[in-house]
Amino acid sequence: MAGSKRELTELLTEVGLFSRCTKRERQTIARHAQTAELPAGTDLVREGEPGDALFVILEGEAVVTRDGDEVARVGPGSHFGELAILDGAPRSATVVAATDVKVAVLGIRMFRTLLREFPELAEQLLVGLAGELRAAQAAVQQATHTQ
CATH of the domain at 131: 2.60.120.10
The answer to whether the beta carbons of residues 28 and 53 sit under 8 Å apart is no
The mean predicted confidence, pLDDT, of the chain is 85
pLDDT tens readout for residues 72-118: 999 988 888 877 777 878 898 999 999 999 998 989 888 888 888 87
Helical axes 108-117 vs 23-32, angle rounded to 10°: 150
Whole-structure pTM value? 0.78
Q: How many domains does the chain contain in total? A: 1
Distances in Å between the alpha carbon of 15 and those of 12, 39, 50, 57?
5, 23, 23, 10
The boundaries of the domain holding residue 54 are: 2-145
> What is the arithmetic mean of pLDDT over 43-68?
92
CA 78 to chain centre: 6
Q: pLDDT confidence of 47, banded at 50, 70, 90?
A: very high
Per-residue pLDDT reduced to its tens digit, 106-115: 898 888 888 8
